[in-house]
Structures are given as C-alpha cells and as structure tokens.
Amino acid sequence: MMPKQKYKLKIEYDGTDFAGWQVQPGKRTVQGEIEAMLSVLFQENCQLTASGRTDSGVHALGQVAHFTATQPRTEYQIRQGLNSLLADDINIRQVEKAADDFHARFDAVRRHYKYQIIRGNSAIRRRYAWCLPGDLDTNAMQQCADIITGEHDFRSFCSTGAEVSH
C-alpha cells in the first residue's frame, strides 16, 4: 500500500454562483467542485476538509482546506492541475505538504471577515458588497462596529465538550 500524503490548500473563490462551501446533492458547491477535480487529478476519491464553511454567495480570499492522497504529486502539479481543471470562479492560490496531524478546521487560529456596504447600486461591486438605496445612518453603524470590533470569546458557539486552546 502506498503511503498517504496530506496536503494543505489555500483557496480563493467567488461564491456568487455557489450554494455555499459544503457538498449538497444536486447543487454546485465549492467543496464539490474541488473534490471532483481532485478525483480527476489523483484518480482516487479525496475528501476535502475546510477551516470553515461559507454560505451561498459568500466569497473567500484565503480559505484553508486539507486532503489526503496516496498518488504522489508535487505541490506545483496539484496547483497547476487543479487550476487548469476548475472553473474561473475558484483559484487554488497555494499548495503545500502538511503534517499528518494537521487539521484545517481545528488548527485555525483566526478568521478574518470583511463586510462591504455601499450606498446605491453598482454594476461592478454588486457581487461583492451590500448595495443599499438611500442614506446610511453612519452614527448607528459606528456604534454597532464599536461593539463587535476586537477579540471575542466564541466558545459558547462550540459543540458541547469541545476543547478550545485558542
């Protein structure tokens, strides 16, 4: 039996035309698209585990995921191969070999979210910002931003019994 190798991917995608990250029967998802192309590239089923899941229409600039494969490939071959097979709304930015104990979700130490709100319509930015008609109450927005800015303890959102080290 061939030894298994774990790989870490850094993925960028435009989530507009996806039903989110996670595989859903009959729907186009980011995970589903990448896993399908990993199967072509490696000639085996490769299950992708991400640092987190995104909802329908959500974009990512640096989503981290990992998979394990038995067929040997270089990082360059994986990146170039996947990018040549995937549609233009997904890009594999980086591939590196990972330690056997690496886990994209459990080893993630931070996540960064950016929300854009613009006044009026925009033909260009409509896919990447929330376009609102009329005036925005910037004072109310600043008060809300002050509340959520900074580091927060989200352990209450973890599953029961989960050990959180960061």
Instruction: Please return the burial class of 118, using the count of CB atoms within 10 Å of its CB with bins 0-12, 13-18 and 19+.
Output: middle
Catalytic residue (one of 14, 55, 137, 146):
55
Q: 68 is written with which tokens? A: 């394990």
Q: Which long-range contacts (CB under 8 A, 24 or more apart) does 163-166 make?
A: 166/109
Q: Is 107 a catalytic residue?
A: no
Strand order in 5-13's β-sheet?
49-50, 60-69, 5-13, 90-98
C-alpha 139/C-alpha 149 separation (Å) is 15
C-beta separation of 54 from 66 below 8 A: no
Q: What is the DSSP letter of 29?
A: -
CA distance 115 to 94: 24
Catalytic residues: 55
